[in-house]
Chain A
Amino acid sequence: MQSIKEIIGKVETNTIAERAACMQGNFYEPINNNAIGPGMNERVQRLRKLSFEAIPSIAIERALHQTAFYKENLGKHSTPVLRALTFLDHCEKKTLYMGDDELIVGERGPKPKAIPTFPELTCHSVEDLEILNSREQQPYTISQEDIDIYAKEVIPYWRGRTQRERIFSHVPQEWKRAYEAGVFTEFMEQRAPGHTVLDGKIYKKGMLDFKADIQAHLDSLDFMNDPEATDKAEQLKAMSISCDAVIVFANRHADLAEEKAENEKNPQRKKELLKIAEVCRRVPAYAPRTFHEAIQMYWFVHLGTVTELNGWDSMNPGHFDQHLTPFYEKEIMEGTLSREEAKELLSCVWIKFNNHTAPPKVGITAKESGTYNDFTNINIGGLKSDGSDGVSEVSYLMLNVTEELHLLQPGTSVHIAPKTPNKFLSAACKVIRQGHGYPSVFNPDTYIMEMVGMGKSITDAREGGCSGCIEVGAFGKEAFLLTGYLNVPKIIEITLNNGIDPLSGKVAGIQTGDPRAFKSYEELYDAFLKQLHFVVDQKVKVSNYIDRMFAKYAPAPFLSVVIDDCIKNGKDYYDGGPRYNTNYIQCTGLGTVTDSLSTLKKHVFEDKTISMDKLLNAVANNFEGDEKLRQTIINKTPFFGNDDNYADDIACRVYDDLVKAIDGKPNIKGECFHLNMLSTTCHIYFGKVMGATPNGRLAHKSISDGTSPSHGCDIKGPSAVIRSLTKLDHTRSGGTLLNQRFLPSLLKRDEDIKKLGQLIRSYFTLGGHHIQFNIVDTATLKAAQKAPEEYKDLLVRMAGYSDYFNDMNDDLQQEVIDRTENESF
């Protein structure tokens, strides 16, 4: 096992060159030939380098505080108050970090990329920590000393008491079977329910204002007539304590800055430190007044929510450009801020996001999701809540910063409504051309309709947007929880094996008959639907159970403060406090399913050129010895993504049936489940747990991602792909995902950039929800596989997020290479 010192030593000898930002990546030529140097100022270059080179590590401090506090206080308070007090305790004691060049301050752990653990939810074992420390891909370092302390202080207390253990000891047998077969994943067994995105409220109100609101609601509780009044009172008290916690946390930073200023010899830095102290005294206690304060306000709220719990998809500022624009415009007008200063502050907070690596999982197999990305997705552009154009100078600044810094995080997306100016779209396309993988591109018209369809008001829907990868929600007013991925191709596999998982030989579904006896395609499809409904019902039942467990044992009082209407309702974020409460099931593999069904329909049932027996035997044998059959299927079957109605009609039918199976299933908050179509990297894991499929896909190869066509099967170009995709009614889902890979040669000239923008506009005119582009060439990717050290910066776009190519495992890398290249001569 390598020691941390060895790893750090390695990095030092392999320093990352300070290249101009436009030279990083794998694209054709610098966009601006006049640009001198990286565009970042020296401070930002230093901060970026530090962040880039920091090694992700595990910080045990939070777990120690948590454990000690629970040992001492469990049973003394109501659960919400206990949670708030442990949050306050940690904010009072936590090691602070304030780097030399920083203007925006605060870290979740004791230093950049030091990630706390959350043993109350899921407790890492000694073995987990050792694997994390030593595994090749995405390691998290931890010292032996810390492992020993963890083994002594943390692990024994939580054994049998974690959320994860509580859940797994109560799930039904049927659920377990399907879960073990890889039919679905469960998000909440590792992390708290997430998808927390903010609206503009924290830029208008400070924590003291929120406390006043809370107090007013406490005072108005009706203990005579409201049977829930006592619970509400506890919840509201907890919220109030959590406001104190973040104020304490900020004041400690102010103290530290003042102390540092005292000893600082450099007058410039001294001034900066005093400024930091002033800002931290102001926010989050009071509403921000300046651009700097507004960013720091958000950052403290961000840290509060990700320290309190480890919700999925981190925390997200939402329409960050729209929130900051009033501060920017006011200060520019008054002359108290320059464009360069604003850019520097944005760069500083961008680097803060990058310092926040995702919390590592337990029971690590690194199979499900191999990434450091914690999926903050900053929405740029789009519409304001009144329906007007949301693009401002700050939007362009954010694109600028994204392009120059070229970091893994934060993810950015641009939102292109019909009224969004072409200038903004072109600026975004130019960043896309750089091949960093982002920004991804969203269609507000479609996602607003999706939200209105789910019952949101038009203004709340417009203030919403996309978070994580592609999921829609009403920012600042909704808990939209991802509950797990559904492996739809696996359901086909189980159907073709009469309820048995062929890989393990164990039962994974229900008996729907021997497919060799099926007389028609309809009979087969019916069996598929029966399996689908059975699996979805299992999933929903357990998700609701888990939701209840979080509401009861792991409420999030601080998060509840910043999400409407938790204060008004006196209820927690996890307990139906928010104005809207959605549960999503994310389905993946539409391409693989469609192509498999198309194969069965055409060759087995219509043309009768391949018998069911022959096909199933070939699939069971992974097509060994029958390459002719496999090639016939691949080359002589209509596949999804080619604007061919034969395949596209099958896709539409499957999609509609997924909507029917999921949409409207009740959750525990009086609302319901909705369909989502995304995969992140889960299609790799799902592929691994599957044998070959009828579409000629070999065993253990990844399935198709989101709603994208099967890899390499879209051979008619991007305009055919967008037509196929938009035969689906996107507005009936909570998001669809389309990855398109472009070689740089398609985007050589400015004219080509314009045409990329027109392709995007076309997709959105047709009703598409999301599209993103990988601009890469195969030679570069192959070279990167062979010489990883030389390509550390290489970012590629994968299924809804950005990652460094060399942080991906072999399968992900291979997949990027295999994807269709839209070369056009």
Chain B
Amino acid sequence: MSLIFDVKRYAINDGPGIRVTIFLKGCPLSCVWCHNPESIEKTVEKLFTSSKCIGCNACVESCENHACTLTDQGILTDTNVCLLCEKCAEVCPTGATQMSGTQYQVDEIMDIIKKEITVMDQSEGGVTFSGGEPLFHHELLIQLLDACGKEEIHRCIDTTGFTTPQKLLEVASLCEHFLYDLKVMDDAKHKQYTGVSNAQILSNLQLLATTNVNINIRIPLISGVNDDDENIHQTAQFIKSLKKALVMVNILPYHNIAQKKYEKLGKISHFIKMEEPDKMRQKKIIELFNSYGIDAVIGG
């Protein structure tokens, strides 16, 4: 079962033109800087926003298992007895309690996507599948890509690249554009920060570069993790070695906006505050890429 945790319209940073971005829930990586912590688990999760809670007790009264308790910090949920039945979210008047992760039929998602056709046509935009890791939901993704193809909607995949070569190639044959993450080149570091080795990710990118899709390489730039000269040089050398000559690099400086999301998930202890590299450093990194003849920009 594949879940979607968000649909974003007027997405202007997720590929060419104005796009609608579909966020699929579940990811094989667990990057410590993850901006969408609710995207990691494949299953439905309960989100709680304390600032919205008016202490009305509606959820407490609705819960047959007595999982919810009203405290000074808002609603506490006993995850040992919570069945994720969603009743609390249904009765919550303010949206303080929400469930993350909804199951959709393919045509339901297509109906949402098709609402944006005029905007897509005017801006040469399209749909972007993001996550989580969209390739983690191979079956649904293939169906969606196929349906979009029939409507001649431009398709883009925002991926970690952590998948099998077969799946990657199948997806690549059904879309036009990839936003491909390269986090850190050193494998030990990659394991440390993301939980997985980057060997498959790198070889998949080499493979992808032999196909017809356009590729933007995205680098989430984090101070002390991957903004050192060595990592940038290695990244640039790797990109130069790819078969595709025209690969654009998007540098995405880290920001702390996700903190609130961790709070909502009740996972504040998992949130690790990291630093955004300063503007000078960002500029330097762009120059480093340029020195390899690689086109790199901040954002996008």
Contact = CB atoms under 8 A, between A and B. Distances in A.
Contact of A631 (B54, B118, B119): B54
A643 B115 contact: yes
Interface stretch (A22-30, A216-224, A465-473, A758-766): A758-766
A20 to B, nearest CB: 22
Interface string A741-782: 000001011011001001101100110000000000000000
A635 B257 contact: no
B11 A627 contact: no
B118 A762 contact: yes
Interface stretch (A35-43, A175-183, A201-209, A716-724): A716-724
A822 interface: yes
A663 B116 CA distance: 33
Contact of A719 (B119, B257, B300): B119
Contacts of B299: 748-749
Contacts of A759: 10, 18, 119, 122-123
Contacts of A634: 94
Interface string B40-68: 00000000000000101010000000000
A795 to B, nearest CB: 25
B223 interface: no
Most buried by A among B10, B95, B299: B10
Contacts of B233: none
Nearest to A756: B12
B210 interface: no
Contacts of A419: none
B17 interface: yes
B17 A635 contact: no
A761 B122 contact: yes
Contacts of B58: 628
Interface in A600-647: 627-632, 634-636, 643
B18 A628 contact: no
B108 to A, nearest CB: 14
Interface string B116-142: 101101110100000000000000000
A716 B18 contact: no
Nearest to B56: A628
A716 B18 CA distance: 14
Contacts of B291: none
Give the interface residue-count category, chain A.
Answer: 20 to 34
B93 interface: yes
A716 B54 CA distance: 24
B9 interface: yes
Contacts of B54: 627-628, 631
A824 B10 CA distance: 8
Contact of B93 (A635, A718, A746): A635
B122 A719 contact: no
A765 B118 contact: yes
B208 to A, nearest CB: 24
B86 to A, nearest CB: 14
B192 interface: no
Given A631-B93, A635-B94, A755 B115 contact: no
Contacts of A720: 9-10, 115
Interface residues on B, range: 20 to 34
B95 A635 contact: yes
A344 to B, nearest CB: 38
B112 to A, nearest CB: 9
Given A765-B122, A824-B13, A631 B94 contact: yes
A717 B56 contact: no
Nearest to B14: A824
Nearest to A752: B12
A628 B118 contact: no
Nearest to A643: B115
B119 A758 contact: yes
A235 B115 CA distance: 57
Contacts of A628: 54, 56, 58, 93
A758 B17 contact: yes
Interface string B1-23: 00000001111110001100000
A205 B54 CA distance: 69
A402 to B, nearest CB: 25
A373 B257 CA distance: 40
Interface string A294-328: 00000000000000000000000000000000000
Nearest to B18: A755
B123 A758 contact: yes
Given A627-B54, A755-B17, A759-B10, A825 B257 contact: yes
Interface in A721-735: 722-723
A628 B94 CA distance: 8
Contacts of A719: 9-10, 18, 116, 119
Interface string B95-127: 100000000000000000001101101110100
Contacts of B95: 635
Looking at B8, B94, B122, the one whose CB has the most chain A CB atoms below 10 A away is: B122
A715 B115 CA distance: 16
A439 to B, nearest CB: 20
A635 B97 CA distance: 12
A215 B299 CA distance: 69
B123 A755 contact: yes
A630 to B, nearest CB: 8
Contact of B118 (A632, A752, A766): A766
B93 to A, nearest CB: 4
A419 to B, nearest CB: 15
Contacts of B121: 762, 765
Contacts of B94: 631, 634-635
B122 A762 contact: yes
Contacts of A762: 18, 118-119, 121-123
Given A628-B93, A643-B115, A716 B9 contact: yes
A755 B93 CA distance: 36
Contact of A746 (B8, B12, B56, B125): B12
B166 to A, nearest CB: 33
A635 B92 CA distance: 9
Contacts of B18: 719, 755, 758-759, 762
Nearest to A754: B123
Nearest to A718: B10
A723 B115 contact: yes
A717 B12 contact: no
A322 B114 CA distance: 39
9 contacts: A628-B58, A632-B93, A635-B95, A636-B93, A751-B300, A758-B122, A759-B18, A765-B122, A824-B11
8 closest A-B pairs by beta carbon, nearest first, are A631-B93, A758-B123, A632-B93, A717-B10, A631-B94, A762-B119, A762-B122, A628-B56
Interface of A: 627-632, 634-636, 643, 716-720, 722-723, 746, 748-749, 751-752, 755, 758-759, 761-762, 765-766, 822, 824-825
Interface of B: 8-13, 17-18, 54, 56, 58, 93-95, 115-116, 118-119, 121-123, 125, 257, 299-300
